[in-house]
A and B are shown apart, each in its own frame.
Chain A
Amino acid sequence: MKLLFLLSLFSFPIFSNAEVYLDNYGVGYGILSSGVLTEAVTENGESSIYGSFSLHFLDANISWAQDNLNLRYHIKAAYTLLPRKTEDGAADITKWRASFLLGYEPKKRNRKRFILTSGIGFFGIVSKGRGGTQVLNNGGGTTTFYRPSDTSHTKLLMLELGLTHQISREFSYSVEALVNGLFGDRRNLNIYMSLNYYWDRGYKRSLKKAREAEVNQNIDEFQAGEALVKKKRKKKKRKKRKKRRKKKSKKGEEGV
């Protein structure tokens, strides 16, 4: 119920009659670091505050723009195509992400633009047990232990804050902070980094707009310039006339 409320809040601007158009859509590659700043031992057995890394996220994203509010609406989805596994691995771990973000462009749109995003996201960790047994040391002897044979699914809610930098027409990279359990004991920070390729509708559109604006400005300038020249010409003519008149009158005086 709460989620529905949040989603409806998010989708409100899209369905309102404000001018919203498809801005960008693309695919990318992402890396996630979980548990940043929490001291833990990583998969290499070393202590780290950078968290543990999950690689190989296939990223898909789409965004709508609303120019009159300078806003952007993003939907991002990601999934680890290759699960994490090994020869004596207990489970295959895949992760997924679905995010609903509001974006804001601090500077006026240009080729190398920055977009600030914030919103909520859903994050999942699927642990698929591989089954089987493993004999390991236990006390003085050995014991048969079991690998899990079922699948367990962890589903998390994230608060997200990120920055996207469009480095060229087609490519952008983004760094996002995903915070889970903000008010609990298990508050944890996760950093998601991705490189994206776009089919840049929005950029083309903005370029077209910019060009139009430039042309309009040129026309304005040209017209303004013309008007100025005309004014100057008029002034000159007036002066000439005055001079002629003066000359004439002088001549006249001489003639008397």
Chain B
Amino acid sequence: MFKIFIFTLLISFKANGFTILFEGMKGFKTESIKVHLDPTECYSGIQEDLKESIDFWNEAVHTNIVMVQGNNVTIPQTDIISQNFTEQVVVGCSANLDSLGNPGDADLLLAFANASDNDFNDKHLDRGYLMINNTPGAKADLSTRAKDSRIATIAHELGHVLGLGHSSVRGSLMYFASATTEARLHQDDIDGIRHLYPQDELGGDYLLGCGRVVPPSSGGPSSLVFVVLLLLLPLSINLRARSKKYFTS
């Protein structure tokens, strides 16, 4: 028995190689992050793709990240990439990506993104954008990719918007090569996003998710009641067992 104990102590751990975009930078401070779409030059399925990519991060367990989709906007592309807007996050598409950056980008980049601490200089992000390559005929036109690959790409770029850099861990969503064609969160992605957006259910009004920033659907029982019932469960089993005894004897 003791030998097994020692053996398990010697098993080593695997890598977690997430990085962040800027030194010492924390995530968005607001309770939720509003993402606005400028669909002007976008392919038709973008709304649905964006929603699914957002849910991706929203479902990351043990984190506090909540992104919501705001109303659509119309902002010049140059303003989007220089983060010259008042919204928190803007998602745009470009039908001529080369004109926005370096020549050849349209054949190289499926999308790009960035974020910044624009307003307060408090080492918390408050602005971010995501530009999708929708250049007709270009090698890296995102709209020509399969749905899984599109969502993996948008979710990866959203990761940047949230403050994550690339990861050295192969198979993670934030891995530097766009080898990820399957849209799934890797433990490394969760480790990274949890570092930037830690959940605190013990502080403030939080209790078992009651105090979550997204109000839970009404009508359900209060979790406090549930906890009390759970605590009383052994007691009730016990009392039943005892009462049975009385009946039989």
A residues near B (Cβ < 8 Å) are 2-3, 6, 9-10, 29, 34-35, 38-45, 47, 52, 55-56, 69-71, 82, 84-91, 93, 102-104, 106, 116-120, 122, 125, 127, 129, 133-134, 136-140, 143, 145-150, 152-157, 159, 161, 171, 180-188, 195
The answer on a CB contact under 8 Å between A6 and B166 is no
Asked if A127 meets B238 with Cβ closer than 8 Å, knowing A136-B165, A155-B201, A185-B58, the reply is no
Interface-central residue, A71, A153, A182, by most chain B CB under 10 Å: A182
The answer on a CB contact under 8 Å between B1 and A171 is yes
Q: What range describes how many residues of B lie at the interface?
A: 35 or more
A116–B220 alpha-carbon span in the complex (Å): 27
Q: Which 8 pairs, one residue from A and one from B, show the smallest C-beta to C-beta distance?
A: A145-B165, A45-B171, A104-B234, A145-B19, A184-B209, A43-B14, A181-B209, A137-B176
- Distance from B163 Cβ to chain A, minimum over Cβ atoms (Å): 10
B202 within 8 A of A: yes
- Distance from A76 Cβ to chain B, minimum over Cβ atoms (Å): 15
The answer on a CB contact under 8 Å between A90 and B223 is no
Tell me the nearest residue of chain A to B207, going by C-beta: A2
B100 within 8 A of A: no
Asked if A34 meets B194 with Cβ closer than 8 Å, knowing A40-B186, A154-B199, the reply is no
The answer on a CB contact under 8 Å between A140 and B231 is no
A90–B223 alpha-carbon span in the complex (Å): 36
The answer on a CB contact under 8 Å between B207 and A145 is no
B79 within 8 A of A: no
Interfacial chain A residues near B212, Cβ < 8 Å: 181, 184
Interface-central residue, A55, A90, A183, A188, by most chain B CB under 10 Å: A90
- Distance from A105 Cβ to chain B, minimum over Cβ atoms (Å): 9
- Distance from A40 Cβ to chain B, minimum over Cβ atoms (Å): 6
Interfacial chain B residues near A38, Cβ < 8 Å: 61
B227 within 8 A of A: yes
- Distance from A63 Cβ to chain B, minimum over Cβ atoms (Å): 13
The answer on a CB contact under 8 Å between A180 and B14 is no
Asked if A118 meets B195 with Cβ closer than 8 Å, knowing A146-B22, A146-B165, the reply is no
Interfacial chain B residues near A125, Cβ < 8 Å: 62, 194, 198
Query: What would 19 more interface pairs be, CB under 8 Å, given A154-B63, A182-B208, A187-B209?
Result: A41-B171, A41-B172, A41-B185, A45-B186, A55-B8, A89-B16, A89-B17, A91-B191, A93-B191, A106-B241, A118-B231, A119-B230, A120-B230, A133-B23, A134-B19, A145-B165, A149-B24, A183-B210, A186-B63
Asked if A157 meets B195 with Cβ closer than 8 Å, knowing A9-B231, A39-B184, A84-B16, the reply is no
B9 within 8 A of A: yes
